[in-house]
């Protein structure tokens, strides 16, 4: 065997993973009309069940949490039932699957929001470049995000409650775990980051205050799922969606300690090179490692060789693959056999049907 650790099993909290090859969360904008996952979505995930763990595409916890067209939700009975079919398909193929919980915050448009109100954020700081998509004449239109308005202090328990309800539904749908999406410039990342959080209440200012909502969400979710089935995704140094966080490393280390105290299953670090930002230094990676006692996943531009090296150096416990898994439903088998890989086609990443989705050939 060419790889020393990639194919060894991993105990991550209460999750027993058959290998250390994780499918990274990938938004594909192919949900059904009511934002329920479809049969096609179920087929796509079932095809990829040889991953040690599939992390689903980001899934909005409420209508307010939606920022793009055709992304799935987990806030209605229909969503829950449809996700159960997805989960059952993955389990039938002996896979494990975590649901990534998402609130986009300011990365939205009022046309996607309940009552066409403005999107919400920690502070009313507009985002100038990021765009959303709204339907027009049956097609798509790219538009600048509008708003946001700042969440009032008494609205924050409602947001936490939406995460709790999403966790309850995820559990009933049978997900093995949930991953709290706290990166890529979406709501929780907007709270963490110095340039998007200018609040002067207990959810803003100090690093501890900026981290508070994420820890509130985790504590609420823990009461439903148990910490051993919860992971968090962070994107330190990432600049996607106009994040400019002057405290990213310090915040990550603080959070890593807070997650350890809570016994979370895993911390998933998506590195900046996918969407821009200063690369992570080795010292910083080691600091994260020292501060977090659960499993550590890294993601971004990994090859099987680089991933196995990171595992052998004991910097990471598992590595997530995004675009390679998108294009190779049998990615672990291809790694095992050192077989050629299908090339991802970026023109079919978002929206559409089976093409570029379920039709990438297995070996």
Judged by CB under 6 A, which of 206, 301, 345, 363 binds ligand FMN?
301
219, 251 contact by CB (below 8 A): no
Judged by CB under 6 A, which of 19, 300, 328, 348 binds ligand FMN?
300
Query: Among the candidate windows 141-149, 287-295, 322-330, 335-343, which touches ligand FMN by CB under 6 A?
Result: 322-330
Measured from the CB atom, is 167 or 299 closer to ligand FMN? Answer: 299
Taking CB under 6 A as the rule, does residue 58 contact ligand FMN?
Answer: yes
Number of residues that bind ligand FMN (CB under 6 A): 22
Is residue 186 annotated as part of the catalytic site, yes or no? yes
Taking CB under 6 A as the rule, does residue 72 contact ligand FMN?
Answer: no
**Which residue has 């990021």 as its token pair?**
130
The distance of closest approach from Cβ of residue 186 to ligand FMN in the complex, given in angstroms and rounded to an integer, is 8
**Cα 231 to chain center, whole Å?**
9
Judged by CB under 6 A, which of 181, 229, 309, 334 binds ligand FMN?
181
The distance of closest approach from Cβ of residue 169 to ligand FMN in the complex, given in angstroms and rounded to an integer, is 18
Taking CB under 6 A as the rule, does residue 321 contact ligand FMN?
Answer: yes
Measured from the CB atom, is 148 or 322 closer to ligand FMN? Answer: 322
Query: Among the candidate windows 115-123, 214-222, 244-252, 294-302, which touches ligand FMN by CB under 6 A?
Result: 294-302
Show the site string, 218-247: x = touches ligand FMN by CB under 6 A, - = not. Answer: ---------------x--------------
The distance of closest approach from Cβ of residue 99 to ligand FMN in the complex, given in angstroms and rounded to an integer, is 11
The distance of closest approach from Cβ of residue 326 to ligand FMN in the complex, given in angstroms and rounded to an integer, is 7
**How big is the CA angle at 15 (ends 14 and 20), to the nearest 5 degrees?**
140
Measured from the CB atom, is 32 or 209 closer to ligand FMN? Answer: 32
Taking CB under 6 A as the rule, does residue 270 contact ligand FMN?
Answer: yes
Site for ligand FMN in 4-33 (CB under 6 A): 24-27
Query: Among the candidate windows 80-88, 214-222, 250-258, 318-326, which touches ligand FMN by CB under 6 A?
Result: 318-326
- Choosing from 186, 266, 350, 357, the catalytic residue is 186
For residue 119, the cross-strand partners are: none
The distance of closest approach from Cβ of residue 205 to ligand FMN in the complex, given in angstroms and rounded to an integer, is 27
Omega into 158 within 30° of 0, i.e. cis? no
Residues that bind ligand FMN (CB under 6 A): 24-27, 57-58, 100, 181, 183-184, 233, 270, 274, 299-302, 321-324, 349
Annotated catalytic sites, by residue? Answer: 186
């Amino acid at each position: 065997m060419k790889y020393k650790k990639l194919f060894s099993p991993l105990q991550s909290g209460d999750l027993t993973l058959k290998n250390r090859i994780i499918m990274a969360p990938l938004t594909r904008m192919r949900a059904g009309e009511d934002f329920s996952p479809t049969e096609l979505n179920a087929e796509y995930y079932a095809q990829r069940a040889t991953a040690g763990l599939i992390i689903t595409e980001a899934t909005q916890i409420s209508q307010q949490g939606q920022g793009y067209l055709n992304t799935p939700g987990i806030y209605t009975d229909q969503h829950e039932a449809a996700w159960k079919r997805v989960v059952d398909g993955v389990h039938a193929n002996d896979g494990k699957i975590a649901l990534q919980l998402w609130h986009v915050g300011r990365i939205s448009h009022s046309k996607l929001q309940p009552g066409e109100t403005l999107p919400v954020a920690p502070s009313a700081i507009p985002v100038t470049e990021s765009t959303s998509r709204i339907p027009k004449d049956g097609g798509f239109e790219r538009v600048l995000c509008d708003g946001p308005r700042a969440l009032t202090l008494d609205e924050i328990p409602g947001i936490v409650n939406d995460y709790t309800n999403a966790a309850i539904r995820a559990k009933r749908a049978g997900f093995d775990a949930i991953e709290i999406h706290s990166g890529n410039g979406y709501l929780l990342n907007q709270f963490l980051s110095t340039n998007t959080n200018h609040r002067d209440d207990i959810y803003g200012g100090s690093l501890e205050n900026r981290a508070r909502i994420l820890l509130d969400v985790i504590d609420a979710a823990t009461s439903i799922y148990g910490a051993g089935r919860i992971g968090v995704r962070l994107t330190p140094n990432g600049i996607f969606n106009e994040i400019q966080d002057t405290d990213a490393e310090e915040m990550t280390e603080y959070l890593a300690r807070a997650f350890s105290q809570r016994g979370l299953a895993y911390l998933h670090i998506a590195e900046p090179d996918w969407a821009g930002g200063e690369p992570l230094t080795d010292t910083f990676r080691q600091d994260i490692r020292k501060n977090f006692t659960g499993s550590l996943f890294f993601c971004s531009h990994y090859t099987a060789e680089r991933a196995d090296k990171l595992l052998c150096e004991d910097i990471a416990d598992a590595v997530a693959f995004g675009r390679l898994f998108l294009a190779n439903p049998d990615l672990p088998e291809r790694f095992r056999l050192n077989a050629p890989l299908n090339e991802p086609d970026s023109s079919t990443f978002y929206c559409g049907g089976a093409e570029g989705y379920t039709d990438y050939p297995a070996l």
